[in-house]
Every structure is written in structure tokens, then in C-alpha cells.
Chain A
Amino acid sequence: MSEAAKPAVPAAPRAAGRAGRNTELPEHLKSYKHVWVFVEHDRGHVNPVSWELMGEARKLADKLQVQVAGVILGGPDEPLDAYAKEAYAYGADRCYVMRDPVLKGFRNEPFTKGLTDLVNTHQPEIMLLGASAMGRDLAGSVATTLGTGLTADCTELNIDGRALAATRPTFGGSLLCTIMTLAYRPQMATVRPRVMQLPRRDETRSGDIVEMPLGMVETDIVTKLLDFIPDANRNTVNLAYADVIIAGGKGLKNADNFKMVWDLARVLGAEVGATRAVVQAGWAEAERQVGQTGKTVRPKLYIAAGISGAIQHRVGMESSDVIVAINTDPNAPIFDFAHYGIVGNAMQVLPVLTQAFRTHLDKRIRKVA
């Protein structure tokens, strides 16, 4: 096992700061300037999270009165210049580009070296990456190589003084914390897709490209990318990690009516959840039980149909971002913690809701395609 490569410019910690840690930015790091965004792309598409970050970078850079740069690594036959043009439209002033056959298709080794070399050469003060599989893989390696601070899954980015203040949830979302990297550069942060808004495009914007060679050949790289297998349909119950869940309770009266939950779930590409009573009645499998004795879920959207919202169910899903409840009883406890409530018969509401979602989403999907 070999020692890790030392960064080109070591951060020299000073004695000052709370509890013996540094809060002073060392002199040689004060020259680090500008805000960078790693532009993530694969097989012809840029991951939109890069553009969302470009918008955020623009805001941060404007506060600091510095520039925004996109960083694009890829193969020589990939449309990196086109990506750069988009980057300018979303707010970048410049793009750093590294072209090499070895960079076609993401692999940790060459990408880490490329990004690290670019950072050491051009010294940005802030670097943002999308918290995707690629982004997190790369960010962790690069931050460790550079020996700098990395804050992951941020929900908010601000400037405090001249430094980046990154806010993120902690402890399952019960609390938020603001994290800063005061004595090291660059300050790195990752942000999940869709947390930040996609900025407006400004086609009039332009910028320059600065290229840099990677300096690696294929034989240098140990890990080979043999193939890429696109997704087929997967068929397992993945309730705990689902983003959208439709759940049904005893208020649905019988197993037949429970099918309506499945109909809505299908339209939304959602997972199906159930209360304990429903599972015990045999209308749904045990793996679908949400609650104190079932699964805890944290989806972005949770639609509860015919569920009273008793504590045992509540504790399993109350951290959902948006909770919609449908129940005939206006005093049902679920309305105390749901965000949206419909007082009505779930058997009546569900099919109508399903149709409404289907129509609305069809329209949007056609727009995007």
C-alpha cells in the first residue's frame, strides 16, 4: 500500500483558533480565487445538477466579486466545447478543459488526478460538485488529496465574510448546521440534484477556455472500464429509500380498493406502503409496512389514503418532505402533521387524483422530451 501523493501546496496550519484548531487562513492560501463548478457529464448529457450549481456559483462569485469557472474533463471525441458554451449560458466566465482518451467514461483515478492538478495550478477558493454517484466519489478523493474541507449534501450556500458558509441537514433532518472551512483551500461542497434551482439561461454570455493536459496514459491506470449496462426494470420493494410513496390504510375498506393505491403509485413511479392493519389483513406484503414496527421512510412525497395517522404509523413517515392525507374524518390525527389534507372518501379521491397526476405529468414529460 503506497503513501498518498502529497498536494502541491501544503496547507501550513497555524496555532491560532479555538481548541487548538485553525481558523486563520494561511497567507499563501489567500491568493486562491474564484468559484469553480465541476461539470458532470456522461454519454452525451450533462447532469443538470451542474447547471443548478452554476447558478449558485454565480451568486457566490458575485458576492465575492470574483469569477465563475466550469471544469470539464472528458474524451477528445466528446462535445466538451458545446458543454462549455452551455456553462457560459448558465453563468460561467471561463471553462477549464482537460481532454484525454483516458478521461472518456468516469473512473476515479484519472479524474481525481485531473481535477487535483487543475486545482493546484489555478487555485480556486471554492469548488462545487453535484452530489451524484460520480460527484461524491470524486469529491471525497479530491478533498483528501488536497487535504481540505468538504461539506456534503448542502441545502444552502452563502458567503460569510469572505468564506463559504454551507448549510446542511443533520441527524435525519431534525436539525440544520452551517459548516465552514476556514483555514484550508479550496472550500469544497457537494449539493444534491434539484436542491438548487436551475438558473435562467443567458445566451448572450460567453467566456474563454483554458486547456490543460492530463499527463496520464491508459497503462498508468489500473481500473479498466469494460462496459456500461443501461438500466432495465428492477422489481424489488425499495420502500426505505423511495422518493415517492403512496400508502393505504384500513379506511380503504377492502383489498380490492387497495388496488387504487397501486394505480396511483404506477402513475407516479412510486413505491407502495401500508399500515400495520392493512398488512395484517393481507392486503399488502409485510415489507410494505410503514411505521413503528415496520419501516421508517423519508420520501419527498408521501400520500396517505384512508390512514388515521395513529402514532405508530406516524413515527414511521413523519419526516417526509410533503405529506398529503386523504381521510373521511376531519379530526383524524393525520391532519395534525400532514401538509395537505383532503377530507373525503379515499375510494372516490384516489382514482381522480391518479388521473389528475397522469394528465399533468404527461404534459410535462412531453415538454421535456
Chain B
Amino acid sequence: MHIVVCIKQVPDSAQIRVHPVTNTIMRQGVPAIVNPYDLFALEEALRLKDQFGGRVTMLCMGPPQAEDSLRKCISFGATDAVLVTDRAFAGADTLATSYALAAAIRKIGQEQAVDLVFTGKQTIDGDTAQVGPGIAKRLGLNLLTYVSRIVEVDLDARRLKVERRAEGGVQLLDTTLPSLITMLEGTNEMRFASLDDMLRAGRFPVRKWNKDDAGIEDVSKIGLKGSPTIVSKVFGPTPRTEKADMQVVADSNPQDVTLNLLQKIFTTHPQIEAELVERLSA
């Protein structure tokens, strides 16, 4: 079995602060991490490799330091890692990214045919969840998003059964290989790397591909040029200068205070009330 897992190295957005004056992102010292959603995809792929044997090839499009993220994936047990890195890819939106990754997967498939491609549900810096579907479309793979469980894989019959999360429940889908799965979070727990895995990862020769190595045929489809979406401006949200809306229980009584609070919250944030009602009615 040959599985390709696509990951992205992202800044740990929980640690990002905004410069109060210039409104730019203060990235100094913010560590870069493997997009947490991707780890669920990787663990699932590794479980299939444990079950069926074969290879798991990591794929990442990013700057040179993304190599560290690929090493981390090797330490968990991935067989191989390819970093597609080239200035020409800079500024890519999701359409240009899926084009580049699809080309690289095609190239990887030439070495050994790919049975499954995994991606995480979305990234914590982009949140779009578009690249997985984009790759599937370009490569003609059956698309299975929000997979919560892989029920069965039949390599001989080339068939795959999964549970896919939908509103209010789970779809049971049956399809053929090759497919692309975007994995839901919380579906598994990443294994612990052994010391040997760590040493192996530390020494691993991550393959670095520029745009030619990655088999890019049409350079107008990658990077900034290949991105239909354009960021026309970036701005900070209006800073919160108001202090908390305070109430003191001692000045009135708990009942009035809490009723006041509810009223304020639900009037200012009606969607919170609506969501609570929806969730609790279900």
C-alpha cells in the first residue's frame, strides 16, 4: 500500500500577537508547528500501514524550514518525506496550492502508484479546508471529507468504506481506490515515537523538490500568478478599549445580576443564543 499524507507547517496561531501600532503579525519567536489537524491524518495513515504494510510518503509545500515538520512526521513512523520548496510557489492561494501538490503527488505516484491521499480537515492559519478537495478534483480521486472513521479497506477489491461526519449524523460511504480522505480531528491519538524513530528522523534525508522536480507543467498555475484570490487589505480588528461590563452582586442581588447578564449577552451576541438553542434542541 502506498499512502501520501499532505501536511502544512503553520505558525502556532495561539501564540501570535498583533503589533498594536502597525497591525502586522508579530511572528518573532512564534514557533512553527505541524498543522495539528494534519496529525490525525498522519496517524490514520500509519495505522493503515501497520495493518497492510507498505509506505507512507509525507508531502509538504513550504519554505525550507518546513523540513523540521517533515522530520517530526518521520519520527512518528512515516517512510519518506518530500518538501516541495521553491520561491515560485510563494503567495499561493488554495487553487495554486492544490495544483502544485497534485503535480507532486503525480510525480510521487510514478515511483509507486498511490492508493490513498490523506490531508487534515483544514489549517489553523488558513481555515479554508479547500486544498484537499482541490487535489482530489485535479487527480480524479474520490473525495471523502470529514472522515471520522475508516471502516474497512479491501486492497484486493480496491474498495474502501468510511464514516463521514454530516449534520446530525454520520454517512456510511463505500467507494473505490484511489481516494483522497480529509480526516476529522479527535478521531485518533498520535502514537509515541520510539527513540530509534527520533534518531532516524534527526538524520533523515528529506527530499527537496523545486518546481521542476515536482513536475510543474504550467508555471502560470502556481504561486501568486496561479492564485485567483487576492488579499486586498489586512487590518486589525478594532481594539477593545472598553473594560468589562461589570456588575457587583453586593450592590443588588444574584438574580437580577444574572438576568441582566443574560440579557446583555444575548442581545449583543444573538448568534450565541441561537446556537445554544439549536444545539440543545437536537
Contacts and interface: CB of A to CB of B under 8 A. Distances in A.
Given A1-B141, A342-B257, A343-B246, A231 B228 contact: no
Contacts of A268: 276, 280
B258 A349 contact: yes
B262 A360 contact: yes
A35 B186 CA distance: 37
Contacts of A361: 276-277, 280
Contact of B258 (A20, A172, A353): A353
A175 interface: yes
Nearest to A226: B172
A269 B282 CA distance: 11
Contacts of B142: 108-109, 222-223
Contacts of B168: 42-43, 230-231
A133 B228 contact: no
A137 B143 contact: yes
B194 interface: no
B16 A172 contact: yes
Contact of B235 (A1, A173, A175): A175
B36 to A, nearest CB: 9
A171 B125 contact: yes
A172 B124 contact: yes
B239 to A, nearest CB: 11
A2 interface: yes
B250 interface: yes
Contact of B229 (A149, A170, A300): A149
Interface residues of A, number: 110
A13 interface: yes
Chain B: number of interface residues, binned into ranges: 35 or more
Interface string B223-249: 011011111111111001001111111
Interface string B147-181: 00000000000000101111111111111101000
A330 B243 CA distance: 12
A255 interface: no
A300 B277 CA distance: 14
B232 A140 contact: no
A241 to B, nearest CB: 7
Given A145-B137, A344-B257, A322 B173 contact: no
Interface in A309-344: 315-316, 319, 321-322, 324-325, 330, 335-344
Interface in B97-114: 98, 106, 109, 114
A269 B281 CA distance: 10
A364 B273 contact: yes
A178 interface: yes
A141 B172 CA distance: 20
Given A141-B133, A144-B138, A296-B14, A13 B220 contact: yes
Contact of B175 (A223, A296, A342, A365): A223
B170 A231 contact: yes
Interface in B74-96: 91, 93-95
B199 interface: no
A133 B168 CA distance: 11
Interface string A155-187: 000001000010011111111111111111000
A149 B93 contact: yes
Nearest to B109: A1
Nearest to B91: A19
Contacts of A143: 94-95, 130, 134
Nearest to B247: A342
A269 B279 contact: yes
A296 B12 CA distance: 11
Contacts of B243: 335-336
Interface in B245-275: 245-250, 254-255, 257-259, 261-262, 264-266, 269-275
Nearest to B282: A231
Contacts of A184: 228
Given A133-B167, A194-B271, A149 B95 contact: yes
A369 interface: yes
Interface in B115-139: 124-134, 136-139
Contact of B140 (A1, A147, A168, A175): A1
A222 B167 contact: no
Interface stretch (B17-25, B54-62, B202-210): B17-25
Contacts of B276: 244, 268-269, 361
B277 A352 contact: no
B259 A356 contact: yes
A343 B247 contact: yes
18 contacts: A3-B140, A47-B167, A133-B145, A141-B133, A150-B130, A170-B126, A174-B25, A175-B23, A223-B173, A226-B173, A228-B172, A300-B275, A301-B269, A336-B243, A341-B246, A348-B254, A353-B258, A356-B255
Interface of A: 1-4, 11, 13, 19-21, 23, 42-43, 47, 105-109, 112, 132-134, 136-137, 139-141, 143-145, 147-153, 160, 165, 168-184, 194-195, 197, 222-231, 236, 238, 241, 243-244, 268-269, 296, 300-301, 315-316, 319, 321-322, 324-325, 330, 335-345, 348-349, 352-353, 356-357, 360-361, 364-365, 368-369
Interface of B: 11, 13-18, 23, 25, 91, 93-95, 98, 106, 109, 114, 124-134, 136-146, 161, 163-176, 178, 185-186, 220, 224-225, 227-237, 240, 243-250, 254-255, 257-259, 261-262, 264-266, 269-282
